[in-house]
Structure 1
Amino acid sequence: MARDLLTDEEFNQIAKNMSDGIGFFNPSFVGEPEQALRWVIDNQLSPSPLGRAAFAEKSLEWAVRTGTEQYLI
């Protein structure tokens, strides 16, 4: 979805900044910028929202099982 909201220049600048930052996240990384970007996304960005989503789904499941009738976002 971000790809649809950003201009090509914005998208490419964000990707470059993230791949350029590989040394901070993984100082021993060796590879191409595209590989660095993939590593940053897979290891630094994706786990947080995926973990939050899993927690929210489990919490909602528990709430429904214990009688909750309304879920407010």
Structure 2
Amino acid sequence: MWANIEEFYLEVDAKIYCLKLNGGLERLEWVRPLLEDGGVQKIVHNYNFALVLLARQEIKLNGVMGDTMLLGYVNDPSV
């Protein structure tokens, strides 16, 4: 069993934008160039999960500088 991408959040200049896919993946094409651009630094939550979900849509996630879930674990493994 796998999840589907339902929403996508982007933070740009301290503003957070939510892209709701509403069951259609066409909107994901709007952010494909950004996701695949290794020159654009990204911080993600649960990188491995995001990598698999995006790969199912043939989108390569490049330029990832950190994973908040992993960093949270490193900071405090008991949480």
TM-score range for the pair, normalised by the shorter chain length: 0.3 to 0.5
More strand by share: 2
Q: TM-score, normalised by structure 2?
A: 0.34
Q: TM-score, normalised by structure 1?
A: 0.35
More helix by share: 1
